[in-house]
Structure 1
Amino acid sequence: MRTGDNKTTETAVDVAAYLDGVEPAERQADGHIVAALMARLSGEPARMWGPSIIGFGRYHYRYDSGREGDMCRIGFSPRKAELVFYLAGLDDADLVPLGKYRRGKGCLYVKRLDNIDMAVLEALIGKSLAHMDGLYPR
């Protein structure tokens, strides 16, 4: 697959405007909080990736299959039912003190920020950034 065939690419959509349209209102507020946290920790501005991922930083990947592309280093999506975090390099043990969450393949799902320990989330984001820096140095 060539680089241009990837579905999730950086777009020019305004992140603040996107977040202002998120529903329900609680998810919108949580989205603004997470965006500010990730921007502070990454030192990167928020950018839209595809129609619903808010990402920070970027890296270029190339698989043995020949597929390659660019993706955000960390990101999240404020979906209607829950926040979805795209973080790499986390172990199950890292997540134990977080609070209420569920985990999918490569994703962390949180219904509400007030159900989790924000200091633990901050540490998880930092660990993911360090992991990405190790795999894909800037």
Structure 2
Amino acid sequence: MSVRRTLPQRARSMVGAWCFLDNYGSDDLSASAGMQVPPRPQTGLQTVSWLFAGEVLHHDSLGSVAMVRPGELNLMSAGHGISHSEQSPSDRSPLLHGAQLCVALPDGAPALENHVDLPDIDIDVDGATVRVSLGELAGARS
């Protein structure tokens, strides 16, 4: 899979609380196993996973299992410690494209939130269709 790391970089290590920003895909997974990230420990941060295409299956040491799909938001708070894996399910779309952001957080209890029904609004901006998922743009508010 192709992964592009936007943060950190030499000129900028963080933007506010955002300490990592990765964009993965858009990749054709039809001839591969897709995303296969084995369990790994994390602490003191929150991952914010957002998909544009495909599916990712999340497992963690709390016993949480969540399928993340396009338009959904997956928030994993590592707190004082959690281990998690991310994998493409065997029955999946041929295309995977998404973004994952990491937020620096103080220690706390680990947790998982999977938001599947976000209030998306599609609007036209200068001839382009734009989806507003969080916040406000051109008079549309989600």
TM over 0.5: no
Q: Provide the TM-score with structure 1 as the length reference.
A: 0.31
Which structure has greater helix proportion?
Answer: 1
> Which has more radius of gyration?
2
Which structure has greater strand proportion?
Answer: 2
